Amino acid sequence: MTEITLNKNIRFGKPTIKGTRITVDDVLGALSGGMTFKEVEEEYAIKRTDILAVLKYAAKVISEEKIGLLTVSR
């Protein structure tokens, strides 16, 4: 199974696909820009399982995000 790793010596510590220098950010940006899974696989020489690991990682990060409400005084 594909893993997402953090290493301060690779891409400034950004989360990357294990064994590559491809960041979660790279893949998410490509997908949000309209590329298909197949196009991302070909562009970055990664597998579908790598893309799915990126999406799983991003979902986990978002699910743990703390959201605070702002109070506006009048």
Pick the CATH number of 4-63 from 3.30.300.30, 1.10.10.10, 3.40.50.300, 3.40.50.150: 1.10.10.10
pLDDT at 3: 96
Domain ranges for the chain, please list them: 4-63
Query: In sequence order, what are the beta bridge partners of 26?
Result: none
Best CA proximity match to 27, nearest among 6, 7, 9, 4: 4
The pTM of the full predicted model, rounded to 2 decimals, is 0.85
pLDDT at 68: 77
Please, what is the angle between helix 48-63 and helix 24-32, to 10°?
100
> For 19-52, what is each residue's pLDDT tens digit?
999 999 999 999 999 999 999 999 999 999 999 9
Q: Which residues contact 45 (CB under 8 A, 6 or more apart)?
A: none
